[in-house]
């Protein structure tokens, strides 16, 4: 294992989250860290700036160079690279961590968001790599590490968020190409978590409660450290955090859990994600007499679930939610249903909603029942491809509040 003392790491998006965790891990070895990120002033919702990160790095024994960098800006990256070389004498390691995410379908994704994701994830990674490579070629321990997933072409990882998948896979394609282009000269690898990681971005996507189903950033920094300590011949790999740490002798992964014992939220782009969701618990089945000829709108597990929903609705829930939901259900109990948590005291039932829906959720009726019984989180259903969401993602997340109220009634 090569220690990182005296080596210079150029890390994009290092003011918080996984990027900062990798920086702090390197700082304990006495490394030099270039914090290339946009946040120079405190954000009202997101913790940390390039300057607070620099203070933490130096407190652990490392040296820091905070640089205001938007990875879409070639001039800003170039200037940061020049500053790093002037101050530290070169660059040994590049960590492409900066990323943008927007989990919406094709019709719901504004081109401004598409441009942002492609600009940060794909172009930003390529550009930063291009400008750092001349210096990496002079290093004794040259590495490029992209925080990006294996190139899994299963359509399940495209259908709900094509633009995000294209942008994120662009980072992975940089690994595929550059690893071969610079084989023998620079190690180029990708690192991706097996489970969701508790970061400010994850909380914005899934709410504060989602943290209980996550691991902390330390698992990613430990995995990155293991990769960066390998020789340049270790290249072209798409590495999962847990898998490489197992090879390093780690056996107890509860040390990384935010809430040990809780089921973990699987991350995007991994085939085992769907299997992990299945392990969340047995499917909830509400018995229905065979041969019952009554309409699905008045009987059956979906109708019974909606009867409970009607009993839970109240003005406080309506006021705190402010959304109209439409459910397109397939499978054994197919049909269209709605919940109005925006108008009056709220309403729910079969058929089209009384006003235009803010969120449209498409899923199998069995998964719907399981979701409202608290056995399947909407975020897990979405990430595993069981749930397609069109519309306001924030409102989709708010749905979990109602589900928690219903759990004891189902």
Residue numbers annotated as active site: 164
- For residues 310-340, one letter each, b for 16 or more C-beta atoms within 10 angstroms of the residue's C-beta and e for the rest, the string is eeebeeebbeebebbbbbebeeebebebbbb
Q: Which sign, positive or negative, has the C-alpha torsion 71, 72, 74, 76?
A: negative
End-to-end Cα distance, the chain: 53
Q: Cα–Cα distance between 223 and 218 in angstroms, integer?
A: 8
Work out the angle between the directed axes of helices 162-181 and 124-136 (0-180°, nearest 10).
20
The bridge status of strand 359-364 relative to strand 387-391 is: antiparallel
User: Is residue 304 within 8 Å of residue 298, measured between CB atoms?
Assistant: no
φ, ψ of residue 116 in degrees (nearest 5): -65, -50
Q: Cα–Cα distance between 98 and 67 in angstroms, integer?
A: 14
Residue 264 to residues 13, 156, 229, 259, 372: CA-CA distances in angstroms?
25, 20, 28, 9, 19
Q: Cα–Cα distance between 370 and 377 in angstroms, integer?
A: 9
For residue 190, the surrounding DSSP H or E stretch is strand 187-192
Q: Cα–Cα distance between 129 and 133 in angstroms, integer?
A: 6
- Would you call 284 helix, strand, or coil by DSSP? coil
The β-bridge partners of 388 are 362
Which residues 6+ apart lie within 8 Å of 200 measured at CB?
A: 16, 17, 45, 46, 47
- For residues 149-162, one letter each, b for 16 or more C-beta atoms within 10 angstroms of the residue's C-beta and e for the rest, the string is bbebeeebbbebbb
User: Is residue 156 within 8 Å of residue 110, measured between CB atoms?
Assistant: no
């Amino acid at each position: 294992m090569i220690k990182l003392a005296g080596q210079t790491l150029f890390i994009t998006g290092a003011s918080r989250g996984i990027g900062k965790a990798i920086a702090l891990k390197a700082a304990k070895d006495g490394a030099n860290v270039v914090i290339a990120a946009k946040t120079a002033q405190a954000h009202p919702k997101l913790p940390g700036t390039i300057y607070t990160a620099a203070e933490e790095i130096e407190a652990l024994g490392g040296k820091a160079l905070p640089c205001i960098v938007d990875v879409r800006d070639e001039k800003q990256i170039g200037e940061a690279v020049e500053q790093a070389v002037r101050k530290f004498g070169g660059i040994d390691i590049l960590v492409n961590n900066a990323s943008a995410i927007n989990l919406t379908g094709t019709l719901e994704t504004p081109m401004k968001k598409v441009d942002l994701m492609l600009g940060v994830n794909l172009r930003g990674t390529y550009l930063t790599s291009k400008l750092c490579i001349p210096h990496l070629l002079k290093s004794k321990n040259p590495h490029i590490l992209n925080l990006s997933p294996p190139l899994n072409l299963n359509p399940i990882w495209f259908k709900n968020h094509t633009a995000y998948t294209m942008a994120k896979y662009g980072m992975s394609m940089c690994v595929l190409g550059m690893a071969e282009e610079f084989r023998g000269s620079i190690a180029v690898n990708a690192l991706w978590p097996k489970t969701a990681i508790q970061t400010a971005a994850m909380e914005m996507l899934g709410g504060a409660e989602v943290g209980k189903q996550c691991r902390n950033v330390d698992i990613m920094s430990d995995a990155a450290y293991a990769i960066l300590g390998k020789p340049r011949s270790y290249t072209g790999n798409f590495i999962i955090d847990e898998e490489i740490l197992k090879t390093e002798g780690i056996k107890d992964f509860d040390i990384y859990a935010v809430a040990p014992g809780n089921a973990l939220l699987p991350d995007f782009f991994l085939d085992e994600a769907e299997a992990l969701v299945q392990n969340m618990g047995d499917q909830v089945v509400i018995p229905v007499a065979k041969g019952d000829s009554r309409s699905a709108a008045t009987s059956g597990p979906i109708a019974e679930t909606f009867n409970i929903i009607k009993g839970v609705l109240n003005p406080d829930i309506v006021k705190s939610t402010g959304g109209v939901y439409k459910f397109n259900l397939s499978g054994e109990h197919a049909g269209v249903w709605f919940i109005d948590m925006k108008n009056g005291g709220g309403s729910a039932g079969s058929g089209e909603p009384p006003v235009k829906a803010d969120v449209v959720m498409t899923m199998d009726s069995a998964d719907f029942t399981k979701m409202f019984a608290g056995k399947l989180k909407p975020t897990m259903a979405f990430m595993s491809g069981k749930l397609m969401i069109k519309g306001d993602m924030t409102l989709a997340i708010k749905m979990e509040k109602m589900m928690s109220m219903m759990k004891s009634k189902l």
